[in-house]
Amino acid sequence: MRIFILSFITIGSLCLGNPASLAKEVSFNYDIRPIMSDTCFLCHGPDEGNREADLRFDIREIAIADRDGSAAIVPGDPEESLMIWMINQEDEEDRMPPKKHPRSLMEDEKELFRKWIEQGAKYEKHWSLIPPVAKEPVNVSNPNWIRNSIDKFVLRKLDKEGLSPSEEADRTTLIRRVTFDLTGLPPTLEEIDAFLADASVNAYEKLVDGLLSRIAYAERLTNEWMDVARFSDSHGYSHDFVRDMSPYRDWVIEAFHENMPFDQFVQWQIAGDLLPNATRTQKLATAFNRLHPQNSEGGIVNEEFKVEYAAERVQTLSAAFLGMTIECARCHDHKYDPITQENFYELFSFFNNIDDSGQISVETSDMPAPTLMLPTVDQTKNLAEMDKGIKAQEAEVERIYKNSRSGFTERKLTQGDAMDLSGEDALVAHFPLVSEDTSASIANDLNPSAIGRVIVDSRPLEFFQVNNKEGPELELVPYEGGIGVKVNGDDSLYFQGANFFRRATPFSVGIKAKIPESVNEGTLIHFNVAGILYNYKGWEVSLMDGHWDVRMAHNFPYNAIQLVSIDPVKTEVWQNVHLTYDGSSTAAGLTLYVDGVPVRMRVTRDRLYKNIVSNQERVKKNVGLKVGARWRSKGLPGALVDEVQAFDRKLTSLEVQHISGSEDQAYEDDQGYDFYLNRYHPAYRESLKLLVALRGERNALNETIQEVMVMDELPEPQQAYVLRRGSYAAPIKPVEPRTPDAILSFPENLPENRLGLAHWLTDPKNPLTARVTVNRYWQMIFGRGLVGTPEDFGNQGQLPTHPELLDWLARHFIDSGWDVKEMLKLMVSSASYKQNSKADNKLLEMDPENLLLARGPVKRQSAEMLRDNALTASGLLVRKVGGKSVYPYQPEGLWSLSSGTYTQGTGLDLYRRSLYTVWKRTAPPPTMKNFDAPNRSYCVVKRQHTASPLQALSLMNDPQFVEAARVLAEQVMLTRKGLNERLEIAYRLLTSRVPNEKEMDVLRSLLAELTASFIQKPENSDALLSVGESGYDEDLPKPILAAYTMVVSMIMNHDAAVVLR
């Protein structure tokens, strides 16, 4: 524990001069609250559930309240204050904080408490919750040093500490620093030379403006944002299938490139879909809320994970924009900050209103809904043309329908009643269920080779190559209508041959069934592999809550049709059940009949926009028609079934009535006409077929369109509840969308939805969003935030090193219209930033972390920068922007832990910027991981900075770096003459600077050693040069090229290449 206390004190002392010096006034915010938070609040803080002795120290009124004649705090009188008494108890058992508390009070901290009470025990609102006010310092020691307002704040602090700023860094260092900081890439030699030669006063400004206008700048900012947005290319749980969300990433690039105001950038991501007349791009931006991990594991409970996802969105919101650890309040009131559990679920309720399914489909190509289709320009055009064609064909169908009455009349006159209502022209499978049937063979009247059978547990046999054919015998039950089969609810009748059901294809199915009173939920007949496991892809006729439930789904619930009967299902009687479908992908195209009468249905979902069968051949082949039970779903145990039929067109109501055994109707009415057209009118039948073909084509094209996860609000918000201990199964009380008053009360005029929330976030009065954002950018530029805990601006977070500067920047950011480029330009243009980063021993000792900014920043390059630096220096880097993620070099077998295989890319894909490298959450790219790239499973606003031997191994041996070294070596050998020039250029390309003589000695010495070695062992150079896909000039002397390669590799590993100074 000691280590934490010490580090706290260090920061404190640097912020405030010397807090232990008790001569001056003790500050509640800077001296007292941090200690209270760390030692008292656990039991005497905001968390009601954990509160001891009914005492809390975070609210003054309670702390000073009389408690049986005395008070915990008596302002002005430490001796009378119970608190002082308790913290000074001799006996460890009696002393506060109690022994079990993770941290105890130090003597000087106790003294601070005493002094503070003596001075009146004044409370202040927590610093980060007071809206920032811009107060620029006026008097500083050295006005000549000042480049912009930032420097005044920095210098004032240095003045206080008796320090002076460092000299400006040399120009090479500067251009390298600023180019990496703003673009993530090194400057080219030409850029360096041009900058060195530019004597104009605004040379640096021109440089910065140029950098900010590059697309590489947008990529750099996007790379940072990807950590915040937890962007990845895979779902994250369990099998962790890969899915492509690159359009969101590319939108972020575009937004930064165009310098979209940050408040708008936030609004679009939080609630773009709710903006008036939301554009496709605004909707796309809301993918931000959907990038959290999602689980396809069979057996999870939907609601559990729906809750998990909504809670995750709150967590991301709070870390990314508010710098608060609001998720602590998921299970109980926050222990340190003024956030109640209710506050958490009020925020939660903003994110709880999408029609998603907690358990996502194991169908690997299914994007978890809600989704947005993103057709390309060409696709849009083609779709529009196809839609036109479909419309025209629908009109044609309609035209024939309107104009063929005469044929009907004529036919009636000539043929009388001789009309075939059996539907036999369309019958494609018929399982009459006869006494000869067994569980291994159920006869098909139409096609003896396409028999049905029983599958145990309803799990398709071939599907998992599981040999579990053993199962109960078919239970044949004679009844007045013949012989039926009693299903057990677990093992379905399976008709693999009946597998023609597609979204554009009209069909009808029929079954006779007697449903026992004992069941009110379960599937009767269906065409799915499974239920939730595949998100109900296919169609089904089921019972739900005693009512008929008809579904047709690509991905239930969002991308699906669902109809529920208004009346309950009749039980204990035989009934003929038919479902007909017209191929229109609409609820109107589905009709459920019972005993020939259409069932009155309520449409609960009507949004089917993708296929209803799997794209995987293996799954598609096995899906088939199933009766009585479904894999891992509820079936209808005890139901009797008979006469299973499938038809390849939509039967007319007359036919359904006939097949159901009802009295045949006369033909005069529209029903008869409808039947006539569908059964006997060649032109009508032809026109329907053509319509099916056109729809089929459109649907096929539709399947190829990029689809992304987005937010789409349900028409009726779902009621959210406070959940006991955060558990989905334990709702306590309903809550409405609201924001924590402690931060900023929700303005009356805002809508109580995500759009209102987005405006609340970016409200100029919100004390956190701007501060948190500028702090993160400060961290990006200076290596450390003004608040060292960018994720926590609360009581347990660190205090700002330069509070007034942070406030000024936040205010300035808001006033500038949330202008990110301007903000970054301001930072990199400050004299503070441009300082030399070198520190003497005194300064190192006094301020090892450079909290005072008496020198310039030092940062190890990020994982992405290291690779991009090597690729740029060697000329391998491919400057293509955006698109699907790519698969550069990676050792084999890493993905086999979960699922999928890593198929390494070829050619240009190997050399894209690192932000485009595919990111599988369960097996991230190892070199990136070694260099502290986060897992991308949750929002990260600050990367770790570690050094490990694995980093050295990566940088020395990862083929990506070895290849880049070889290509760079080849380049200098081909384009430069003489060893010195070659070494110097290679060194410059990687480090931006010219090596000094001593360094050249080292380079030459290694080159000589290695050349000798490779000449001795020529086979070694062959092997080394073969690393990587790109070829090399074989006319070059191989041992020498090999030696140069390894010298270049060494430079890549050199501090001068790796660390930005």
Partner 1 sequence: MNDFVEKLNYLNRRQFLTKSSLGLGAAALSAFGNPSKLFSSTQYPGTKGILGKPHFAPKAKRVVYLFQSGGPSQFELFDYKPTLDKLHGEELPDSVRKGQRLTGMSTNQSTFPLVRSIYDFQQYGNNGAWVSELMPHTAKIVDELCFIRSMNTDAINHDPAITFFQTGSQLAGRPSIGSWLDYGLGTDNEDLPSFVVMVSKNGSGQALYARLWGNGFLSSRHQGVQFRAGEDPVLYLNPPPGLDDHDRGQIINHLKQLHELQYEALGDPEIHSRIAQYEMAYRMQMSVPEVTDVSDEPESIFELYGEDSRDPGTYAANCLMARRLLEKGVKFVQLYHQGWDQHVNLPEGIKKPAERTDQASAALVMDLKQRGLLDDTLVIWGGEFGRTNYSQGNLTPTNYGRDHHPRCFTLWMAGAGVKPGFSYGETDEFGYNITENPVHVHDFQATLMHILGIDHKRLTYKHQGRRYRLTDVHGHVVKEILA
Contacts with partner 1 in 728-757 (CB under 8 A)?
A: 729
Q: Which helix (H) or strand (E) holds 524?
A: strand 522-527
Beta bridge partners of 723: 731
CB 336 within 8 A of CB 45: yes
Selected binder of partner 1 within 122, 412, 929, 976 (CB under 8 A): 929
- 601: contact with partner 1 by CB under 8 A: no
Closest separation in Å from C-beta 921 to partner 1: 8
The residues in 85-144 that bind partner 1, with binding defined as CB under 8 A, are 100, 102
The residues in 931-950 that bind partner 1, with binding defined as CB under 8 A, are 932, 935, 937-938, 944, 946-950
Q: Which is nearer to partner 1, 37 or 286 (CB)?
A: 37
Selected binder of partner 1 within 4, 142, 387, 588 (CB under 8 A): 4
Closest separation in Å from C-beta 874 to partner 1: 15
Residue 692 amino acid letter: V
The site string for partner 1 over 615-634 (x = CB under 8 A, - otherwise) reads --------------x--xxx
In angstroms, rounded to a whole number, what is the distance separating the alpha carbons of residues 42 and 889?
A: 49
- Residue 6, SS3? helix
- 1055: contact with partner 1 by CB under 8 A: yes
Residue 732 amino acid letter: I
Selected binder of partner 1 within 407, 875, 959, 1037 (CB under 8 A): 959
In a 13 Å sphere around the CA of 214, the CA atoms on its Cβ side amount to 21
Q: Which is nearer to partner 1, 318 or 885 (CB)?
A: 318
Closest separation in Å from C-beta 130 to partner 1: 19
In angstroms, rounded to a whole number, what is the distance separating the alpha carbons of residues 303 and 727?
A: 10
| Cα separation of the two ends of the chain | 33
The residues in 988-1007 that bind partner 1, with binding defined as CB under 8 A, are 996, 998-999, 1002-1003, 1005-1006
Q: 175, 182, 220, 169: which is closest to 856 by C-alpha? A: 169
Q: Which helix (H) or strand (E) holds 114?
A: helix 107-118
- 9: contact with partner 1 by CB under 8 A: no
Stretches 205-213, 574-582, 772-780, 1042-1050: which one binds partner 1 (CB under 8 A)? 1042-1050
Closest separation in Å from C-beta 292 to partner 1: 10
In degrees rounded to 5, what are phi and psi of residue 261? -55, 140
Closest separation in Å from C-beta 792 to partner 1: 5
In a 13 Å sphere around the CA of 454, the CA atoms on its Cβ side amount to 25
Question: What would the two tokens of residue 972 be?
Answer: 């200098």
In angstroms, rounded to a whole number, what is the distance separating the alpha carbons of residues 346 and 340?
A: 10
- 1056: contact with partner 1 by CB under 8 A: yes
Selected binder of partner 1 within 685, 1020, 1029, 1030 (CB under 8 A): 1020
- Residue 262, SS3? helix
Closest separation in Å from C-beta 629 to partner 1: 8
CB atoms within 10 A of CB 472: 11
The C-alpha angle 118, 121, 125, rounded to 5 degrees, equals: 155
Beta bridge partners of 706: 374
Closest separation in Å from C-beta 1058 to partner 1: 8
Selected binder of partner 1 within 58, 437, 792, 847 (CB under 8 A): 792
Closest separation in Å from C-beta 293 to partner 1: 7
Q: Which is nearer to partner 1, 533 or 809 (CB)?
A: 533
The residues in 287-346 that bind partner 1, with binding defined as CB under 8 A, are 293, 295, 297-302, 308, 319, 325, 328, 335-337
The site string for partner 1 over 875-914 (x = CB under 8 A, - otherwise) reads ----------------x-x---xxx---------------
Selected binder of partner 1 within 1010, 1040, 1041, 1060 (CB under 8 A): 1010
Q: Which is nearer to partner 1, 70 or 1005 (CB)?
A: 1005
Q: Which is nearer to partner 1, 716 or 845 (CB)?
A: 845
Q: Provide long-range contacts, Cβ within 8 A and 24+ apart, for 890-895.
A: 890/925, 890/926, 891/926, 894/923, 894/926, 895/920, 895/923
Closest separation in Å from C-beta 944 to partner 1: 6
The residues in 412-441 that bind partner 1, with binding defined as CB under 8 A, are none
Question: What would the two tokens of residue 941 be?
Answer: 């606003």
Closest separation in Å from C-beta 349 to partner 1: 21
Q: Which is nearer to partner 1, 169 or 569 (CB)?
A: 169
Selected binder of partner 1 within 1021, 1040, 1044, 1060 (CB under 8 A): 1021
Closest separation in Å from C-beta 805 to partner 1: 23
Q: 65, 61, 66, 114: which is closest to 86 by C-alpha? A: 114
- 845: contact with partner 1 by CB under 8 A: no
The residues in 470-509 that bind partner 1, with binding defined as CB under 8 A, are 470-472, 488-491
Buried b (16+ CB within 10 A) or exposed e, 595-607: bbeebebeeebeb
Where does residue 796 rank: exposed (0-12), middle (13-18), buried (19+ CB within 10 A)? middle
Where does residue 518 rank: exposed (0-12), middle (13-18), buried (19+ CB within 10 A)? exposed
Q: Which helix (H) or strand (E) holds 70?
A: strand 70-71
The residues in 515-574 that bind partner 1, with binding defined as CB under 8 A, are 522, 531-532
In angstroms, rounded to a whole number, what is the distance separating the alpha carbons of residues 1040 and 1028?
A: 18
- 635: contact with partner 1 by CB under 8 A: yes
Closest separation in Å from C-beta 796 to partner 1: 3
- 775: contact with partner 1 by CB under 8 A: no
Q: Could you give the residue ranges of the DSSP H alpha helices within 648-768?
A: 653-659, 670-680, 682-703, 754-761
Q: Which is nearer to partner 1, 230 or 759 (CB)?
A: 230
Question: What would the two tokens of residue 14 be?
Answer: 């640097």
Which residues, including other chains, have CB under 8 Å from residue 702's CB and lie 6 or more apart?
373, 383, 609, 610
- 1013: contact with partner 1 by CB under 8 A: yes
- 954: contact with partner 1 by CB under 8 A: yes
Q: How many residues bind partner 1 (CB under 8 A)?
A: 126
In angstroms, rounded to a whole number, what is the distance separating the alpha carbons of residues 182 and 176?
A: 10
Q: Which is nearer to partner 1, 588 or 952 (CB)?
A: 952
CB 963 within 8 A of CB 1027: yes
- 395: contact with partner 1 by CB under 8 A: no
DSSP string, 23-59: SSPPPIIIIIHHHHHHHTHHHHSS-GGG-STT--SSS
Where does residue 970 rank: exposed (0-12), middle (13-18), buried (19+ CB within 10 A)? buried
Selected binder of partner 1 within 456, 525, 780, 809 (CB under 8 A): 456
The residues in 850-869 that bind partner 1, with binding defined as CB under 8 A, are 858
Stretches 694-702, 750-758, 818-826, 928-936: which one binds partner 1 (CB under 8 A)? 928-936
The site string for partner 1 over 35-74 (x = CB under 8 A, - otherwise) reads ----------------------------------------
Helices 215-228 and 769-782 pack at an angle, to 10 degrees, of 120
The residues in 234-293 that bind partner 1, with binding defined as CB under 8 A, are 236-240, 293
Give, in order, the Cα–Cα distances in Å from 735 to each of 349, 720, 758: 7, 6, 19
Closest separation in Å from C-beta 849 to partner 1: 12
Q: Which is nearer to partner 1, 817 or 893 (CB)?
A: 893
Selected binder of partner 1 within 246, 382, 706, 796 (CB under 8 A): 796
Q: Which is nearer to partner 1, 880 or 1017 (CB)?
A: 1017
Selected binder of partner 1 within 63, 271, 421, 1050 (CB under 8 A): 1050
- 375: contact with partner 1 by CB under 8 A: no
